[in-house]
Amino acid sequence: MNFLEVYSAAANGGLLTGVTLELVNDKLIDSIVVLMQLGHWHDSIEGSVTGPTTYLHLREFIKRHKKTVEGRYVAAQADAQSERADRQPKS
């Protein structure tokens, strides 16, 4: 979670530009989507919040990239469903 917060702060604060910003944004979004899929981590993440500034930059990043995060989450869910269907024995 710390790396997500640090990279979110860098991306939000204008410390990154060009290709570097693209790569960091892409990695952050992919990591957020993975965490969304791993429901068993949600309670641990919520439990790590100690105040209103915890994950402040990450929350801002997610807000700024909400449509992309949601789109990738839907695509990841569809991919996971397709993989499960592919593993089912064929009749």
Question: Residue for token digits 């990841």?
Answer: 76
The confidence score (pLDDT) of residue 45 equals 93
Its pTM stands at 0.85
23: Cα within 13 Å, side-chain hemisphere = 5
The confidence score (pLDDT) of residue 88 equals 78
Domain ranges of the chain: 2-87
Tens of each residue's pLDDT in the chain, 91 residues: 999 999 999 999 999 999 999 999 999 999 999 999 998 999 999 999 999 999 999 999 999 999 999 999 999 999 888 877 777 777 6
Give the SS3 label for residue 84: helix
Helix axes 66-87, 18-37, angle to 10 degrees: 50
